[in-house]
Amino acid sequence: MSFLHHTKYSLSAMTLRSLFICSCLVLMTLACRTTQSAAEEPKDVQDNPGIIANQFIVKLKPGVQPETLSSTFQQYGLTLKKMINKSMNLWVFTYRQESLEPENMLLILKESEHVQEAEFDKRLSNRRN
């Protein structure tokens, strides 16, 4: 085997090894990011005891009254439970949970033309120092 042929083979093997190592590093990085982002995502409502599954905190768009939202989604039994802050247009709504899965109801609320933001209501716990 000539020196030139040996050098070409060595470069080719080094290139393949480098590509393999780079590919492995990229895959490990992607796997770590996917695992990390999956851990940060909220679990199903049933898996999170801090969430009140049939209640939502809703920030309505300016000028929208809570009654408008209730009447828009009356088929789900959406009703106003209480006001959080009238000037910020923040309200707590409940609905009939047997009419729709909580995650789906939240998506419907978020996509509503009347809603600026919506999220599940949560149970508050006392902090112990």
**What string of pLDDT tens digits covers the 129 residues of the chain?**
554 555 555 556 656 566 566 555 555 555 554 444 334 434 466 677 789 989 999 999 999 999 999 999 999 999 999 999 999 999 999 999 998 999 999 999 999 999 999 999 998 877 676
Residues 6+ apart with CB under 8 A from 38: none
pLDDT for the residue 34? 43
The predicted model scores a pTM of 0.62
pLDDT for the residue 99? 87
pLDDT for the residue 126? 72
**How far is the C-alpha of 85 from the C-alpha of 92, rounded, in Å?**
10
